[in-house]
Structure 1
Amino acid sequence: MRAIAALSLSALIASATVGLAPAALATERVVVSIKPLHSLVAGVMAGVGTPEIIVDGAGSPHSYSLKPSQAQDLQEADVIFWVGPKLEPFLEKAITTLGSDARQVALMEAPGLTLLPTRSGGAFERHHHDGEADHHEHSDEADHDEDHDHAHEGEDAHEHEHADAHEHEHADADGHDHDHGAVDPHLWLDPENARAFVAEIARVLSEADPENAKTYAANAKALDDRLAGLEAKLTEELKPVRGRPFITFHDAYQYFEHRFGLASAGSISVNPESIPGAERVAEIRGRITELGAACVFAEPQFTPRLIAVVTEGTGATCATLDPLGAELDNGSELYFSLLENLGTSLRTCLAERS
């Protein structure tokens, strides 16, 4: 790529003449859509540069509007990382027009991902018995023991391969293809998917900037090790609350549930941009009561006043889950804090109803 390919030489010249660090020249060349992906890209780019971010703070990728400065970032970008049009529909046209000169990487297309179909409706049935996660099937026909579900725990990162999940790349375990309209786009909430993202990010950046390929590879190796450790830690911490039903504001947590054997009973809003009506509220209240749901979780991106209405008289506790890290500082640590915070919120709220 035109700017990144010359990064090392430009950085040396800039450092010698005006005292700028290499990161200052790379910052405007790599653009990332949302905070969790930005964190992973920042980790791979550590020591080389810092990527720009589009959806910052408590912004929602479902309904974001580009600022003029961000439109310029897209025009000047060499590489653009995003999940894909299902999650960030506002970016689809902008990337095609403003980012036409950049390498556009929809990480939803990365090899080695576990892809799950979008759940229909808002009050889903439970897909797993006794809280066991079903990582390698999209049906209820097969049970997997914990050792199989977490076979990657403790592996050396050199030996870890994302190929074991290749059957999920655009297809489920029965071979049925899923177009992107049917795939749940919240893929980053599974740390195994984050490992696949990191591998793809490092590959793309190494091709765009071969002079720093060794740095990208080393950073990716370190991140892969940390992500494996994070998965093992959360697996152990969430064991006591597996199988306890809860309700979320919108259905953003399926990948986290699948990976750690949690039991979401439904969501309040089918479409996060629309206000559910009285019939939906009554349905969810009934679902909470029927299942004895321990918790109902709001989100900082959406501040629905309905949470109190839905939980009134049910005995369910209200808490918050943040799938994007809205209140976390950007950077390579954000992804790890994000998943740890999800685990803490779920464990704390669900344990209160043990």
Structure 2
Amino acid sequence: MKRISLHFAGAVLLAPGLAYADPPKVTTDVPPVHSLVAQVMQGVGEPSLILPPGASPHGYAMRPSEAARLSDADMVFWVGPELTPWLERSIDSLAADATSVALIDAPGTRTLSFREGATFEPHDHDHGDHGHDEEHGHEAHDHEHGEDHAQEADHGHGDEHSHGDQHGNEHGDEHAEAHGHDHEGFDPHAWLSPDNARVWLDVIAEKLAEADPENAATYRENAEKGKHGLDTLTAQIDGRLAPVRGEPFVVFHDAYHYFEESFDIEATAAVSLSDASTPGPARVEEVRDRIRDVDAVCVFTEPQFPSSLVDTVVEGTAARTGTLDPIGVDLEPGPALYGALLNGLADNMVACLKAD
């Protein structure tokens, strides 16, 4: 597998000798990445999507049709093994000759650490520049962190966990709680930062332009249009969230840190671990106590997981329940999905957090 190194000064590093007679066959991992790639490829071609709507990226077994799409790909754009370690192994075995671009590795991508514990200890609430660059020596070490992070991801999501179904709802939460922490490493849900999406649009355009010079101008123009659209979207969401800033809320799992930081709105706890695994009774009780202590207005579930767990957590409290979708479960895949995803997060937050 050619996992291209993306670190260098001033531009996107391009692998020499890549060229296709026709536009490359492109596949992607999750709907938000698929949407960004589809934006860049508009007018030229359409990428395929491996992870179907409704599935959790943290644990999934590909169907034969999805494996076939991966095997047929010339290029694979994906977040990285920190989100989908199972996909890294599949790329190695099924698409070893494809150009693999892990977007989490792109220079300029900001990454955030997982927040510790069910109620996010205070030292993890710092919104300064504490992401990928500082913690992983981005400038000093040429962004060479893929193998270390893959090992961390395997520690958090690997084979020692029990995957009860295709959604990965049973991951052995007791193991993590016994060790007194959530999963180590950085949070891979980096697509929920519009700033990261801007970086990724450029990376996608440049990689496609190198592979398909005839359509290079179209890829780059589409990326610029996408970035302008993100500027407008970010300003609109920022305004919509302004009335509910400061209202305490709880999320289902710690997947929204990038969105929260981007729009200065912060969760106070997470019901589940960072991979959305089933929490133990002690964690549920800790979160319930937190809801009471801070008078949390809302506890958010996610559409791909049973709402019964959140119903249990809010029992005996005054908190309302709402739904946040970090990946686009109910959205139509395509260029418009990314904007609809962020808009949906904002709208659902406002709907649940606004004053009666």
Shared fold (TM-score greater than 0.5)? yes
Amino acid at match of 1:34: V
Amino acid at match of 2:259: F
Q: 1:279 to 1:326 in 2, by over 3 A?
A: same
Q: Deviations over 1:63-88 (max 9, x none)?
A: 11111111111111100011111111
1:310 paired residue among 309, 313, 336: 313
Aligned to 2:129: 136
Q: Structure 1 residue aligned with 2:41, among 39, 45, 48?
A: 45
Q: Structure 2 length normalisation: TM-score?
A: 0.79
Q: 1:231 aligns with which of 231, 234, 256?
A: 234
Letter in 2 for 1:136: D
Aligned-partner Cα distance in 2 for 1:225–1:219: 10
Q: Distance in 1 between matches of 2:139 and 2:19?
A: 39
Counterpart residue identity of residue 122, structure 1: A
User: Kindly tell me: are residues 285 and 136 of structure 1, through their superposed partners in 2, closer, same or farther at Cα, counting changes over 3 Å?
Assistant: same
For 2:133 and 2:276, the matched residues in 1 are separated by 32
1:104 aligned counterpart, secondary structure: strand
Give the CA RMSD over aligned residues: 2.5
Structure 2, gaps ≥5 residues long? 1-15, 153-184
Give distance in 1, aligned partners of 2:227 and 2:139: 25
Contact kept, 8 Å, 2:252 with 2:276, in 1: the verdict is no
- C-alpha separation in 2, matches of 1:233 and 1:252: 22
Distance 1:127 1:344, change over 3 A: farther
**Separation in 2 of the partners of 1:168 and 1:232?**
28
What is the identity, as a one-letter code, of the residue corresponding to 2:73?
A
Per-residue deviation, 1:309: 1.1
- Secondary structure of the equivalent of 1:301? coil
Matches within 5 A, 1:1-354: 5-7=20-22, 29-126=25-122, 134=127, 136-137=129-130, 167=133, 170-171=136-137, 180=149, 181=152, 182-272=185-275, 274-352=277-355
Please tell me whether the aligned partners of residues 115 and 168 of structure 1 are also in contact (alpha carbons under 8 angstroms). no
Q: Alignment partner of 2:271: what SS?
A: strand
Q: 1:210 to 1:197 in 2, by over 3 A?
A: same
| Secondary structure of residue in 1 paired with 2:268 | strand
Cα deviation digits, residues 283-305 of structure 1 (max 9, x gap): 01000000111110000121241
Which SS does the other structure have where 1:31 is aligned? strand
SS of the residue aligned with 1:5? coil
Whether the aligned pair in 1 keeps the contact of 2:205 and 2:223 (CA below 8 Å) is yes
Normalised to the residue count of structure 1, the TM-score between the two structures is 0.80
Q: CA deviation at 1:134?
A: 2.6
Q: Secondary structure at the match of 1:250?
A: coil
> Aligned residue pairs: how many?
303
Shift of residue 213, structure 1, vs aligned partner: 0.2
State the shift of 1:172 in Å: 8.0
Q: Given that residues 114 and 274 in structure 2 are in contact (C-alpha distance below 8 angstroms), is that contact kept between their aligned partners in structure 1?
A: no
Letter in 2 for 1:210: P
Structure 1 unaligned regions, length at least 5: 9-25, 139-165
For the 8 Å contact 1:248–1:267, the answer to whether it is kept is: yes
Q: Could you tell me how far apart the structure 1 residues matched to 2:106 and 2:18 are?
A: 24
Are 2:18 and 2:211, in contact at CA under 8 Å, matched by a contact in 1?
no
CA offset digits 1:31-80 (Å, max 9, x no partner): 00000000000000000000000112111111111111111111111000
Specify the code of the residue in structure 2 equivalent to 1:52: S
Given residue 127 of structure 2, which amino acid in structure 1 is its aligned partner? D
Partner of 1:80: helix, strand, or coil? strand
Aligned residues of 2:77 and 2:102 also touching (Cα < 8 A): yes
Structure 1 residues 77-101: Cα deviation after superposition (integer angstroms, max 9, x where no partner): 1000111111112101100110101
Q: Percent identity?
A: 45
Deviations 1:173-211 (A, max 9, x none): 999x98533110000001001001101100111111111
Q: Work out the CA distance in 1 between the residues paired with 2:330 and 2:290.
A: 30
Q: Which deviates more from structure 2 when the two are superposed, residues 238-247 or residues 93-102?
A: 238-247
Give the number of the structure whose alpha-carbon radius of gyration is greater: 1
Q: Distance in 2 between matches of 1:318 and 1:171?
A: 40
1:248 partner letter: V
State the 1:171 CA deviation. Answer: 4.2
Distance in 1 between residues matched to 2:299 and 2:94, nearest whole Å? 40
Please tell me the residue identity of whatever aligns with 2:88.
E
Alpha-carbon spacing, 1:333–1:322, altered in 2? closer, same or farther (3 Å)? same
The one-character-per-residue Cα deviations of 1:138-167 (angstroms, maximum 9, x if unpaired) are: 6xxxxxxxxxxxxxxxxxxxxxxxxxxx94
> In the aligned structure 2, how far is the partner of 1:48 from the partner of 1:135?
40
Partner of 1:156 in structure 2? none
How many angstroms does 1:136 deviate by? 2.8
* Residues 74 and 99, structure 2, Cα contact 8 Å, conserved in 1: yes
- SS in structure 2 opposite 1:111? coil
